[in-house]
């Protein structure tokens, strides 16, 4: 249904940005900010990181085999941004997670929200 002239209608589209650099593709929606807490799922490995400035953030986990992953950016246990790493075609899934505006007390509940393989 479209709005008629003069009627107010909410605009709900969540914009995204992306880049391809060599073999790496990333897509992101929402707020991607290093000061936010993050929960990441990389090829089956989950990593939690408290938000800190980039200059003082220790690497919580080192592994050069992280081929695919999802990084959830959280504010007060709610997902406010999603970064998809080598997961083309999953941007609608990321938008759906953002749209839920759900409070995640147990971060591991995010682990399977966006599948790293298949559709």
Q: Which residue from 76, 31, 35, 41 is spatially nearest to 53, judged by alpha carbons?
A: 35
Which pLDDT score is estimated for 10? 82
Residues 58, 61: Cα–Cα separation, whole Å: 9
Asked if residues 36 and 75 have their Cβ atoms less than 8 Å apart, the reply is yes
More confident residue, 22 or 91: 91
Tallying the residues shown for the chain, one arrives at 119
Q: Enter the pTM of the model.
A: 0.78
Tell me the per-residue pLDDT of 25-77, one tens digit each, with 9 for 90 and over: 999 999 999 899 999 888 867 677 776 554 445 555 555 566 899 999 999 99
State CA 34 to chain mean position distance. 12
More confident residue, 8 or 77: 77
Asked if residues 60 and 51 have their Cβ atoms less than 8 Å apart, the reply is no
């Amino acid at each position: 249904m479209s709005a008629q002239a003069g009627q107010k209608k909410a605009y709900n589209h969540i914009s995204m940005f992306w880049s391809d650099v060599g073999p790496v593709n990333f897509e992101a929606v929402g707020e991607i900010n290093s000061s936010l807490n993050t929960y990441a799922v990389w090829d089956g490995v989950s990593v939690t990181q408290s938000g800190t400035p980039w200059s003082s953030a220790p690497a919580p986990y080192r592994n050069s085999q992280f081929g695919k992953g999802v990084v959830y950016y959280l504010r007060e246990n709610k997902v406010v941004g999603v970064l998809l790493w080598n997961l083309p075609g999953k941007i609608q899934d990321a938008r759906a997670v953002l749209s839920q505006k759900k409070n995640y007390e147990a971060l591991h509940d995010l682990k399977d929200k966006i599948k790293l393989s298949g559709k």
